[in-house]
A and B are shown apart, each in its own frame.
Chain A
Amino acid sequence: MATRPRINQVRLRVYQVLLLALVLGAWHVLTQPGLLPNFYFSADNRAAFFFGEPLKVAGRIVDWFVGGEIYGHLWITLVETALAFAIGSISGLLIGLWLGLSPMASAILDPYIKAANSMPRVVLAPIFAVWFGLGMWSKVALGVTLVFFIVFFNVYQGVREVSPNILANARMLGANRRQLLSAIYLPSAMSWVFASLHNAVGLAFVGAVVGEYLGSARGVGYLILQAETTFDINTVFAGIFVLTAFALLLDGAVGVIERRLMTWQPRAAETERT
């Protein structure tokens, strides 16, 4: 890696900001009514109707946060996401450990797990709406079905790939079955769990928003749905940007926890620079 030239960090940031400005600028110029002669749409305000206007989108986001309208919706969506994430990953971890350690159970359940995983689980949303109503829990249930399999498969894989040497060593050191679970299998599976949590948090969000979108009375997905029915494209974009920002924040939080808990893992950049 030493021969590869290091990119100047400051310059990198400048380029990234420039790229963003370029895209937003193009968006603005192409959609602002009357700014450019029409070359595709027949009327001045058509481009804005279909693609929104960045200034109005920004204004909408500011209104939301200043006026306080967004907080209730955002809170609901985030709570749904957090619950789906927590329930899905903990159950994925536990069942992954169980099936990883008992070959008989995993052999019996194998085809059903494969089927459940390949099923497009978003179609379960209407069923969950019937079971759990249109409140929070139907969205949480949808998120759980998405999160669970990601974490489950990673833990399952992780448990089965525990080094036989480390296992034999722990047994020679006197570990019983329970101690093997807590001292070997669990920590070994954790690195796989964390690899999957980044995906899982995104999917928990997807579950919450899609659930809201399909039928709800609160949440950011509901805001987007409302705006869409009135062809308010600016509000739809505003909702998308708010969701993106919070998805990034959640992912960052997982990253922080990961670095805190996984200090034992070698990092390529860390080992060479002292």
Chain B
Amino acid sequence: MATPALALRDITCRFPSPDGQGTYTAVADTTLVIEAGQFVSVVGPTGCGKSTLLNVAAGLLAPSSGTVEVFGEPMVFDGQVNRRAGYMFQSDALMPWRNAIGNVVAGLEFRGVPKREAVEQGQEWLRRVGLAGFGDRYPHHLSGGMRKRLALAQTLILDPDILLMDEPFSALDVQTRQLMENELLALWAADRKTVLFITHDLEEAIALSDRVVALSAGPATRPIGDFAIELDRPRDVAEIRMEPGFLTYHRQIWDVMKEEVLKAYAKQRAA
């Protein structure tokens, strides 16, 4: 068996609880192994610790216990992030004081790529995500969908081996979202990076992924189901939702998740 691109083993994350007494266990004994080139979605109810898991994979957060391997190499949590991964955040993380091209080339700039070369690549990426001619606009001039595309270009320009995505499209309206999902699939199809995609939207997860992992409700979130999605590619996220295969997967996964979603809902209401 080939070395997995990303292996989270027995990850547990505990935080001091908000009242200052005791701890809150966000993620418990979670093992998640992702093969290179796989598109894996993690679904779970809101507030179940999905983002925590992603932050561990990114190297932004050290787990309380457990290990992370990136292409077979164990990750040390010493303030260094996962250099082989790109991360797309749920909310806006663009630098508002830089225009579009300045944002896209930021990563190249940090790596010391000469400015001219960086800008050249940056223009190419702006074109690829449909933002050619918007290079001199600042983020606040752009619509939500355009900002997402900009963030995608900003991440992909560094050609990361692993793409970590934290509900990147959740703030978009339905139409823009489906367009973005299709664009993501098209970009992904070009070089088949390893993707770990976090979402609370089961349909989005099935439409995009090779594999869907369902998480339990928090606290102490852990995987409760692992499904291979064997639908043909290339896919159109709007059309695939009508296919019988899609509905079968949906029913299967939803059966596992339903109870957890209700649990999370009850907990939120109680709080």
Name A residues whose Cβ lies closer than 8 Å to a Cβ of B: 163, 165-166, 168-176, 179, 183-184, 187-188, 190-191, 263-266, 271
Contact pattern, B 60-90, Cβ under 8 Å of A = 1, otherwise 0: 1000000000000000000001110111010
Chain A hits for B95, CB < 8 A: 166, 170, 183-184, 187
Contact B89 A165 (CB under 8 A): yes
Work out how many contacts link A and B, with CB atoms closer than 8 A.
71
B176 at the interface (CB under 8 A from A): no
CA gap between A166 and B103 in the complex, in Å: 11
Most chain A beta-carbon contacts within 10 A, residue among B82, B92, B110: B110
Listed A/B pairs (6) with beta-carbon separation below 8 Å:
A165-B91, A165-B92, A168-B87, A169-B87, A176-B110, A187-B98
CA gap between A176 and B155 in the complex, in Å: 17
Chain A hits for B96, CB < 8 A: 264-265
Contact A174 B93 (CB under 8 A): no
Contact B110 A168 (CB under 8 A): no
CA gap between A253 and B85 in the complex, in Å: 46
CA gap between A72 and B158 in the complex, in Å: 59
CA gap between A187 and B138 in the complex, in Å: 14
Distance from A262 Cβ to chain B, minimum over Cβ atoms (Å): 8
Chain A hits for B116, CB < 8 A: none
Distance from B124 Cβ to chain A, minimum over Cβ atoms (Å): 17
CA gap between A266 and B85 in the complex, in Å: 32
Distance from A227 Cβ to chain B, minimum over Cβ atoms (Å): 48
CA gap between A151 and B158 in the complex, in Å: 37
Name B residues whose Cβ lies closer than 8 Å to a Cβ of A: 58, 60, 81-83, 85-87, 89, 91-99, 106-107, 109-111, 138-141, 154-155, 158
Evaluate whether A172 and B97 lie within 8 angstroms (CB atoms) in the complex, with A264-B140, A271-B140 already known: no
* A interface SS class: helix
Contact B89 A169 (CB under 8 A): yes
Q: Which of B60, B97, B138, B154 is in CB contact (< 8 Å) with A173?
A: B154
Residue of A nearest to B111 (CB): A174
Residue of A nearest to B96 (CB): A264
Contact B60 A179 (CB under 8 A): no
Contact B85 A263 (CB under 8 A): no
Contact B60 A174 (CB under 8 A): no
Chain B hits for A266, CB < 8 A: 140
Chain B hits for A172, CB < 8 A: 58, 60, 81-82, 85-87, 155
Chain A hits for B93, CB < 8 A: 163, 165-166, 168-169
CA gap between A170 and B107 in the complex, in Å: 8
CA gap between A115 and B44 in the complex, in Å: 51
CA gap between A179 and B99 in the complex, in Å: 18
Chain B hits for A168, CB < 8 A: 58, 60, 87, 89, 93
Q: Which of A169, A174, A188 is in CB contact (< 8 Å) with B97?
A: A188
Chain A hits for B81, CB < 8 A: 171-172, 174
Evaluate whether A187 and B97 lie within 8 angstroms (CB atoms) in the complex, with A173-B158, A174-B158 already known: yes
Chain A hits for B155, CB < 8 A: 172-173
Contact B92 A174 (CB under 8 A): no
Distance from B110 Cβ to chain A, minimum over Cβ atoms (Å): 4
Evaluate whether A183 and B140 lie within 8 angstroms (CB atoms) in the complex, with A173-B158, A174-B158 already known: no
Residue of A nearest to B164 (CB): A172
